[in-house]
A = this chain, B = another copy of it.
Amino acid sequence: MREIKVVQNILEINQAAADQNRQRLDGNGVLTINVMSSPGAGKTSFLLQTISGLKDKAKIGVVEGDVSSTVDAEKVADTAAAVVQINTRKMPESCSLIADMVTLALKDMPLEELDLLLIENVGNLICPSEFALGEHKRLVISSLPEGDDKPIKYPLIFTDADIVIINKLDLQPYVNFDIAAFRRTVTELNPRARFFEISCSTGEGIENWCSWLLGEIDSYKQRLKAS
């Protein structure tokens, strides 16, 4: 008797698509970062600072994920080597990018020209943690005005992060955010998380972040060559 699967595991399907994206990215030597945060934590400003910091040092593509609008893609259009906007509105998993959406976006990307791909996910601390996109690194931005308790309330996204960016350092005098306590909470969830403290308004910490990232692009390319 034939077995009929009524419901397939959407996360398994997504993982398969993510694996294919990853192969495609590796085939072109494009280190890819999934950039996640709450709405308004500064993802787009962070992308702009990173693009500017790596100017003439790395060619960067951007995938912009939003429920609606192209405002973020317009902001980065002048500076990135290539930009594709994804609008997730009306899609069933609209609270996150999923791997299939990125597959479509990659078709419009000149991957062979790029060193780095930054995928700006939908502003959300929950859904994006469930869906791999094919990225090499998962990055979460927390901004000081959000409060230092976010890793307690949204643990999964921090548990799976490779990089945790603490943004809006310039607002520290005006808000209650205990950076040491925040780092301690994240480290308990995820000892391998690497932290960067920055301000996209003042530029503080950006040089340090960009120089580390450039090193990661180099090691990634060396690993690809060796394999």
Q: Type the 1/0 row for A161-202, where 1 means its CB is closer than 8 Å to any CB of B.
A: 000000010110011000000000000000000000000000
Please name all residues of chain B whose beta carbon is closer than 8 Å to the beta carbon of A69 when the two chains form the complex: 149, 152-153
Contact indicator B39/A95 (Cβ below 8 Å): no
Q: Which of A66, A68, A95 has the most CB atoms of chain B within a 10 A radius of its CB?
A: A95
The answer to whether A145 has its CB under 8 Å from any CB of chain B is yes
Q: How large is the interface on A (under 10, 10 to 19, 20 to 34, 35 or more residues)?
A: 20 to 34
Contact indicator B68/A153 (Cβ below 8 Å): yes
The answer to whether A71 has its CB under 8 Å from any CB of chain B is yes
A26 to B120, CA, bound (A): 43
Partner of A127, one of B123, B127, B143, B171: B127
Contact indicator B123/A154 (Cβ below 8 Å): yes
- The secondary structure that dominates the A interface is loop
Chain B proximity of A48: nearest CB distance (Å): 13
Please name all residues of chain B whose beta carbon is closer than 8 Å to the beta carbon of A40 when the two chains form the complex: 38, 143, 145-147, 150
Which residue numbers of A lie inside 8 Å of B, CB to CB?
6, 38-40, 66-69, 71-72, 94-95, 122-127, 143, 145-147, 149-150, 152-156, 168, 170-171, 174-175
| Copies of the chain in the assembly | 2
Please name all residues of chain B whose beta carbon is closer than 8 Å to the beta carbon of A154 when the two chains form the complex: 39, 67-68, 123
Partner of A145, one of B66, B143, B150, B153: B143
Contact indicator B68/A127 (Cβ below 8 Å): no
Partner of A168, one of B66, B124, B145, B153: B145
Partner of A150, one of B39, B122, B155, B174: B39
Contact indicator B171/A67 (Cβ below 8 Å): no
Partner of A124, one of B124, B147, B156, B170: B124
